[in-house]
Amino acid sequence: MRPAGRGDLDSLYFSYPIFPSPEHGATFARETPVAIVGAGPVGLTAALTLARFGVRSIVLEKKSTFNDGSRAICVSRSSFHIFDRLGAVGPFLEKALGWTTGRSFYRGRQFLEFHMPHDAHEKFMPMYNLQQQYIEQYLFEAARACRLVDIRWASEATAVRDTSDGVEINVDDANGAYVLKADYLLAADGARSAVRAMRGLRLKGENFEGRYVIVDVRMAHDYPTIRRALFDPACNPGGTVLIHRQPDDIWRIDYQLKPGESAEDALLESRVRAKIAAILGEIGHQGAWELEWWSVYNANTLLLDDYRDGRVFFIGDSAHIVPIFGVRGLNNGVADGENIGWKLAKVINREAGDRLLDSYTPERRGATFDVFANAVKSTRFMTPPTRGFTILRDAALSLALSEGFAGAFANPRQMAPFTYAQSPITEQCAPAPDGGAAPGAVAPNVRLADGTSLCDRYARGFTLLSFGAPEGIERAIASLSALDNDFDAIIVNPERQVAGALSLADPGQEIAARFGAEAGEAILIRPDHHLAGRWRGAAGEAPVAALSRLLAV
């Protein structure tokens, strides 16, 4: 909702472009390897990932512009790494506000200051604040510059049918109706997914009682980019308030509604203004402010039984809905988009068998359950579901004022990449040493001596990271290159030159320390920078066998 007198797209800080429906001319494509319904961050991430591997896609978007209003704002380090791999991260870094710290207050007194993990080896900050409009704009600009992505605005998918070798999609736009044929369909059309409904599928899970009014306010407020959580503040007795800084002097303020409080009444502009005035008074803001947008939010943990339905794959909110606490919704969806994107590309390019696609659901549904496990704890702490929970929560908060350990209960457990330990394509090899990168985990970054990042040296496809150059490594590299056209090898501290591999000197053993690796060890890194496996000894044969199994060739 926007203030009286302003239209849906009348923003204080963002100019919404209006995109027309495409013309149905002689070159208008009606067939594509991959169709994507939804041009939000998740759909565009998938399209750009496919394009990175040379695969065309057509993206259908019902709306004629970017999402309006106050949506996702917290973008994790892992998502920035994905945008970096897609060649789109530049404008994100210029606009977004990075942060590492959060502060929590109980009845006006600070009891917790948490710091997300961050060190000199990291390429990006743990978290960035950026409005979803900009996220979509920057991904759209990257897609528009790519000849392999065709975005069709104001184009509604009205029906989906299976065929013997793909799917057919009925599409309506301002210039008429047509049928789009695709080998595969990605449903990235959000929480109210039309594709999901067309397939007769339902999300299942838990609905929580806690409700929040989400408000964006423009004001010149002198406070760093730090997450603030207020428990039982004078401005919202018995409830909670969350405050985040965004670019363009926009501030996100979420405040909890009381049980039984009418959402309709709470969304009245006069009520919103009064509540925001009280909150700003509590945090000491005395200057002018303007309302940008507001809405109401309910916390849910919902997901599909299977993210694959034949040749249709569900990504982002069409597959799962998670609570906002811990900022996992958008970031989880972006990871979905890259995960299915590189796997589909391998299958379409005939470098992998269809079984590779069967790993999408266990990996990303597993990630969703991990999100649920953390988000449910945060949700119950932020919005206790019963009087008993409330008593326990308030007791912990009171204790935290004098005993620091109790403050950990309020830690929001921010988004971290999921480890695919139980994935069917993760090799169940020797466990990593304490502190080392485990099979299925995201590869840690290492800042190299020249100031560049190790992650920038990885191949577009799979990468073999070998510590030393054992006998037979040349044969392994040749075999791996034959399996993956985008493969590359990196030899750390090689005893000799190895043809077809990049040599990296690591005199300080920083790379070995970050990975927990020993001389003679080999690690296979996937296109999404998760570890497919790691081996001590047999460094030549084991990775080849593992990649052959993974690609199901």
The per-residue pLDDT for range 436-488, each reduced to its tens digit, is 899 999 999 999 989 999 999 999 999 999 999 988 899 999 999 999 999 99
In this predicted structure, the answer to whether residue 299 has a pLDDT above a threshold of 70 is: yes
CB atoms within 10 A of CB 508: 9
Of all residues in the chain, the percent with pLDDT exceeding 70 is 97
Place of tokens 């009014």: 213
CB atoms within 10 A of CB 369: 12
Q: Is 377 helix (H, G, I), strand (E, B) or coil?
A: helix
Q: If you average pLDDT over residues 316-343, what whole number do you get?
A: 90
Please give the Cα distance from 344 to 34 (Å, whole number): 9
Whether 92 contacts 124, CB under 8 Å: no
Indicate the pTM of the whole model: 0.96
Instruction: Pick the closest to residue 354 from 166, 533, 199 (CA basis).
Output: 166
Q: Which domains does the chain have, with CATH numbers?
A: 31-95+119-203+304-373 (3.50.50.60), 454-551 (3.40.30.10)
What the block records as the tokens of 326 is: 């811990």
Instruction: Pick the closest to residue 516 from 452, 446, 451 (CA basis).
Output: 446
Q: Mean pLDDT across the chain, nearest whole number?
A: 93
What the block records as the tokens of 218 is: 């423009």
- Which residue did the predictor score with more confidence, 266 or 386? 266
Q: Which of 74-88, 328-342, 534-548 has the lowest mean pLDDT?
A: 534-548
Please give the Cα distance from 480 to 43 (Å, whole number): 31
Q: Residue 228: what pLDDT?
A: 95
Backbone angles phi, psi at 20, to 5 degrees: -80, 165
Q: What is the pLDDT of residues 127-181, one digit of tens each?
A: 999 999 999 999 999 999 999 999 999 999 999 999 999 999 999 999 999 999 9
Highest-pLDDT range among 163-177, 208-222, 361-375: 163-177
Q: Which of 43-57, 333-347, 370-384 has the lowest mean pLDDT?
A: 370-384
Please give the Cα distance from 197 to 217 (Å, whole number): 35
Q: Residue 382: what pLDDT?
A: 76
Q: What is the pLDDT of residues 482-526, one digit of tens each?
A: 999 999 999 999 989 998 899 999 988 999 999 999 898 999 999
Q: In what order do the strands lie in the sheet with 463-467?
A: 502-504, 488-492, 463-467, 521-525, 531-536
Q: Is 111 helix (H, G, I), strand (E, B) or coil?
A: strand
